[in-house]
Structure formats: C-alpha cells, structure tokens
Structure 1
Amino acid sequence: MNFITFTEEKLRTFTHAVFIKMGCSEEHATLATDVLIKSDLRGIDSHGVARLSGYVRLWEKKRINATPNIRIVHETATTATIDGDAGLGLVVAPFAMKVAIEKAEKYGSGWVSVKNSNHFGIAGYHSLLAVEKDMIGISMTNASPLVAPTYANERLLGTNPMCYGFPAGKYPPVIVDMATAAAANGKLEIAQRANKAVPEGWIQDKDGNSSINPNELKSGGALLPLGSDKDHGSHKGYGLSATVDILSAVLSGANYGPWVPPFVAFLEPSANPVGEGLGHFFGAMRVDGFRPAQDFKDHLDNWIERFKSAKTIDPNKKVIIPGEPEHAFEQERKVSGIPIIDVVVNDLNELASKLGIEGL
C-alpha cells in the first residue's frame, strides 16, 4: 500500500473540475469540493476525494441531480423541512444547516429535517458551520442499509452518523462525529484496498457469525451496531441508529430503514419506496440562549484541560478530546499535503480520463 501526497489546492482543482463536468453550477461545485476536501484534511480519508467516482456513477444513473431546486416545503418559526430535489448531499446539507442557523439567530434555535437528498460527506462539516457562529451544531443522516439491528440477520439500518459540535475558547471546538455502527462502511473500503482483515466485532457473515473479512458485505453479511453484540451493548448503538433514521427520514418524508437507496450505482433503489431519497437532520442552538457565550467557552476550555490531564492507564497516552485528532490532521495536512492511497489515485485518474479533464 503506497500513498501519493498532493497539495490541498491540487485536489481542490481536480475535484471542482469533476463536479463542473457533472453539470454543477460554479457555486455548487465549489461547495461540494469544500466538503470533500475538508474530510481529507481532517484525516477522514474514506469520505473525501475517494468518494468522487461514486458520486459520478450515481449521476450517470440519473440518481443525482446536478442542478437541484433545493427548497423549503414546510416551515414554522424554528423548524423546516427541505426537499433536496435529488441533489448532491454535499450541497443540500449546507443549505439546510444554514436555514437552521438563520432560525437560531432569530429565535435561539433552528431545526431542519431533509428529504430527497444523497450522501452528504462528513457530518462534522455541517456541525462546524454552526460552531463558527458560536452555536452548538447537530447533524445526522441516514444511509444505505448495511447494519443488522441487535439479534437480526437482516440489513435494516445504515451506519447513520451523528455529530455534535461545541465551540470552545482557546482550544479547537469539541466535535463528536461518529457512526452509530461499530465501524463506518468507509473503513471497510479502506481495509479492502489494503487487503487487510478488520477487527472482531465490526461485521457478521450472512449466517450471523462474527467475521473479520472486510468483503463480507458483498456476500450477504452485515455491519454490526455500535457495541458489536448484545453482550457488549449493541442495543445502544441500535437505538442511536434508530434515532438518526427517525429524525432524518420518518420526520422529513425520506426513505428509511431498508428502503434507503444504496450509495453504489450498480444496486437499484427499492421498487416500492416509502419516501424520497436519503434524509438528514440538523440543529443549531445559540450558546447565548443559555448563558453568555464567552462563559460557556471558558468553561468548556476548563473541561478540556481537566480531561486532558486525567490519569491514564498507560503514562505514554493521554485522554483524547473528541475532534482533537481531526484538528491535528487538518493543521498538518494544510502544510505538508494530503496523502492519497495509490488505488484511489488510479481510480481518480481513470475518472479524469473518462470525463476528459486533467488527472492528478
């Protein structure tokens, strides 16, 4: 497994060109590019430019609308439901979070549910939009059914990530960004490219037995909920995933559970959908709706310092603050560049050749 390092600007230029070729407007191409590059900068390689080919294939299948009419279809002073018109989730999601932020600016909080969308990148990107406004940001999305609920031998839920973002003072924001499955599907894809086994407790085979084969999903297996199995608290991960699915889709009118359309283009969506596209959910809460923002940030700084000074089992290890590793990656990669695995580079160069644009 080899990596090739690219400058942020090189990857931005390439990614932007791909979205323009798909027919996106300059504004949408720039925004979609920013979401993907943010993922690579923050070290979440599974959700960055490695996803480009998947978006293009869905667009070719006419499952992604490059020129969507994103609009509010239901609204109160503090809530809204948005129809993404089958657009890129990378564009629909920031639109929705900005609506939540605008409502929070006026009324203290804003809550937005989304239907008829697609994969929206990393949840952290959208929560950070609120954090930058001294708000608490909440973002979540349902996803292709790859996860078996506790005791089930059937894929009914997605990895269904959720993110909570909190603004700090002198420290980077606390960003709790996680899948509600034992592992995100992107981590299986990384293991497949590297031809490596995955840890015990991530997946089960088609018969419900534990497996370490990263290709298990291709033969009828399933990812497991956060917690792995009942003895290790999988019912909690299942409950979190169900919460994401209900807020993102049952609330908005998107597809939920096994009806969520697959991210891969070679699998067709359900012939009998219960809603429209994928669903997301966003929240923005003004910190100063609860106490002065600076007071909160000073105390969150104190919280961070206390946790970082905790006694540890191994003296060579420190307690990690949620979002700290991603922030460190971002600072480093903005200077030293972004490493991309050679398999992904080859895939992107093939994509460039097909689209008639300059490769990496």
Structure 2
Amino acid sequence: MNFITFPEHQLRSFTYSVFKKMGCSDDHAELATDVLIKSDLRGIDSHGVARLSGYVRLWEKCRINATPDIRIVHETPTTATVDGDGGLGLVVAPFAMKVAIEKAEKYGSGWVAVKNSNHFGIAGYHALMAVEKDMIGISMTNASPLVAPTYSNERLLGTNPMCYAFPAGKYPPLIVDMATAAAANGKLEIAQRANKDVPNGWIQDKDGQNSINPNELKKGGSLLPLGSDKDHGSHKGYGLGATVDILSAVLSGANYGPWAPPFVSFLEPPSDPVGEGIGHFLGAMRVDGFRPAVDFKAHLDNWISRFKTAKAVEVGKKVIIPGEPEHEFEVERKINGIPVIDVVVNDLNLLAEKIGVAKLA
C-alpha cells in the first residue's frame, strides 16, 4: 500500500474541474470541492476525493442533478423543509444549514429537514458551519441500506451518521461525528484497497454470521449497528440509526429505510420509492440562548482540560477529545499535504481520462 502526497491546492483544482465537467456552477463546484477536501484534510479519507467517482457515476445515471433549484417548500419561524431537487448533497446540506443558522440568529434555534438530496460528505462539515457563529451545530443523514437491525440479517438502515459540534474557547471545537453502524462503509472500502481483513463485529454474512471479509456486503452480507451484536449493545446503535432515519427522511419526505437510494455501486435504487431522494436533518442553536457564549466556552475549555488529564489505562495512551485527532490531521496536512492511496490516485486518473479533465498525477 503506497501513498502519493498532494498539496491541498492541487487536489482542490482537480476536484473542482470534475464538478465543473459535471455541469455544476462555479459556486456549487467550489462548495462541493470544499466539503470533500475538508474531509481529506481532517483525515477522513473515505469521504474525500476517493468519493469523486461515485458522484460522477450517479450523475451519469441521471441520479444527480448538477444544476438544482434548491428551495424551501415548507416553513415556520424556526423550522423548514428543503427540497434539494436531486442536487449534490455536498451543496444541498450547506444550503439547509444556512437556513437553520439564519433562523437561529433570529429566534434562538433553527431546524431544517431535507428531502430529494444525495450523499452529503462528512457530517462534521455542516455542523461546523454553526460553530463559526457561536452556535451548537447538529447534522445527520440517512444513507445506503447496508445495516441490519438487531436480531436481523436484512439490510434496512444506512450507516446514518450524526454529528454534534460545540464551540470552545482556547481549544478547537469539540466534534462528535460518527456513524450509527459499527463502522462506516468507507472503512470497509479502505480495507478493500489495502487487501486487509476488518475487525470482528463490524459485519455479518448473508446468514447472519460474523465475518471479517471487507467484501461481505457485495455477497449479501450486512453491516452491524453500533455496539456490534445483541450481546454488546447493538440495540443502542440500532435505535440511533433509526432516529437519524426518521428525522432525516420520514420527517422530510425523503426515502427511508430500505427505500433509500444507494450511493454504493453494487446496489440499485428500489423500484417502489416511498419518498424523494435521501434526507438530511440539520440544526443550529445559539449558545447565548442558554447562557453567555463566553461563559459556555470557558466551561467547555475546562471540561476538555479535565478529560485530557484523565488517567490512562495503558502507558503511552491518552484520552482523546472528540474531534481532536481530526483537528491534528488538518493542521499537519495543511502544511505537509494530503496523502492519497495509489489505488485512489489510479481511479481518479481513469476518471479524468474518461470525462476529459487533466489527470491528477
């Protein structure tokens, strides 16, 4: 497994050129690029430029609208439903979060459900938009049905990530950004590229037996909910995944559960949709709606300081603050560049050749 390191601007330029080739406007191409590059900068390599081929594939199948008319279709002072018009979730979700932030600025909080969208990248990007305004940001989305509920081997839920982001003072924002499955599908893709097994407890085969084969999903297997199995709290991950599905899709009018149109290439959309596209749910809450923001951030700093000094059970280990590793990656990669595995580089160069843009390397 070899990596090629690229300066940030080179990956940005390449990614932008791909989105422009798809027919995106300058603003949309720039925004979609920013979401993907943010993922790579933060070390979430599964959701960055490695996803570009997937977006192009869906666009070629007319499942992504490169020039959407994103609009509010239902609204109250503090809530809204947004129709993404089949656009890139990378563009639709930031639009919805801006609506949530504007409502929060006026009324204290804003909540937006989204339908008729697509894969929106990392949840953290959207939640962090609120943090920049001294707000608590919340973002979540439903996704390809790859996860089986507790006691089942039927794929009914997505990995359905959720993110909560909190502004701090002297520390970087505290960000809880996670899939509600035992592992995100992107982790399996990374293992596939590296030709490695995955940990026991991530996936099961089509008969419901544990597996460590990262290709199991393509053979009818399923991801397990957060908690792994029934003996280790999988009902909690199942409940969280269900919550994301309901807030993102049942509430908005998007497709939910097994009807969610998949991003993965080995599944096709169901022929009997119950809604429109996939759904997101985004929220923003003004910190000063509860107490002065400066006081909250001082106490969150104190919270972080205390947890950073927690006694570790192993020498050389330390308690990690949610979002801390990603921040460290971002600082380092801004300076030294972004490493991309050679398999992904080859895939991107093939993509470039196919759609007619300059190769990455």
Does the pair score TM above 0.5? yes
Q: How far apart are the structure 1 equivalents of 2:166 and 2:23?
A: 36
Tell me the CA shift for residue 269 of structure 1. 1.1
Match of 1:306 in 2: 306
C-alpha contact 1:58 1:264 (8 A) present in aligned 2: no
Q: Structure 1 132/158 Cα, relative in aligned 2: closer, same or farther at 3 Å?
A: same
Match of 2:40 in 1: 40
Q: How far apart are the structure 2 equivalents of 1:337 and 1:331?
A: 10
Measured against aligned partners, the alpha-carbon deviations of 1:188-228 in whole angstroms (never above 9, x if no partner) come to 00000000000000000000000000000010000000000
Aligned ranges 1:147-296 → 2 under 5 Å: 147-265=147-265, 267-296=267-296
Tell me the CA shift for residue 109 of structure 1. 0.1
Match of 2:359 in 1: 359
C-alpha contact 1:36 1:49 (8 A) present in aligned 2: yes
Match of 1:350 in 2: 350
Q: How far apart are the structure 2 equivalents of 1:328 and 1:294?
A: 24
| Aligned partner of residue 130 in structure 2, secondary structure | helix
| Aligned partner of residue 170 in structure 2, secondary structure | coil
Measured against aligned partners, the alpha-carbon deviations of 1:296-354 in whole angstroms (never above 9, x if no partner) come to 00000000000001111113111000000000000000000000000000000001111
Number of equivalent positions: 360
Aligned ranges 1:138-149 → 2 under 5 Å: 138-149=138-149
Q: How far apart are the structure 2 equivalents of 1:50 and 1:245?
A: 25
Q: Which amino acid aligns with 1:86?
A: G
Q: How far apart are the structure 1 equivalents of 2:262 and 2:309?
A: 44
Tell me the CA shift for residue 264 of structure 1. 3.0
Q: Which amino acid aligns with 2:77?
A: A
Q: How far apart are the structure 1 equivalents of 2:44 and 2:225?
A: 20
C-alpha contact 2:6 2:339 (8 A) present in aligned 1: yes
Tell me the CA shift for residue 266 of structure 1. 5.6
Q: Which structure 1 residue ranges, 5 or more long, are not aligned? A: none
TM-score of the two chains, using structure 2 as the length reference: 0.99
Identity across matched positions, percent: 85
Q: How far apart are the structure 1 equivalents of 2:177 and 2:266?
A: 29
Match of 2:17 in 1: 17
Tell me the CA shift for residue 270 of structure 1. 1.0
- 2:49 aligned with 1:56: no
| Aligned partner of residue 267 in structure 1, secondary structure | coil
Tell me the CA shift for residue 268 of structure 1. 2.5
Q: Which amino acid aligns with 2:359?
A: G
Tell me the CA shift for residue 153 of structure 1. 1.2
Match of 2:325 in 1: 325
Tell me the CA shift for residue 26 of structure 1. 0.1
Tell me the CA shift for residue 265 of structure 1. 4.6
C-alpha contact 2:218 2:266 (8 A) present in aligned 1: no
C-alpha contact 1:81 1:113 (8 A) present in aligned 2: yes
Q: How far apart are the structure 1 equivalents of 2:308 and 2:318?
A: 6
Q: Which structure 2 residue ranges, 5 or more long, are not aligned? A: none
Q: Which amino acid aligns with 1:185?
A: N
Q: How far apart are the structure 2 equivalents of 1:63 and 1:165?
A: 31
C-alpha contact 1:61 1:265 (8 A) present in aligned 2: no
Measured against aligned partners, the alpha-carbon deviations of 1:18-61 in whole angstroms (never above 9, x if no partner) come to 00000000000000000000000000000000000000000000
Q: Which amino acid aligns with 2:328?
A: A
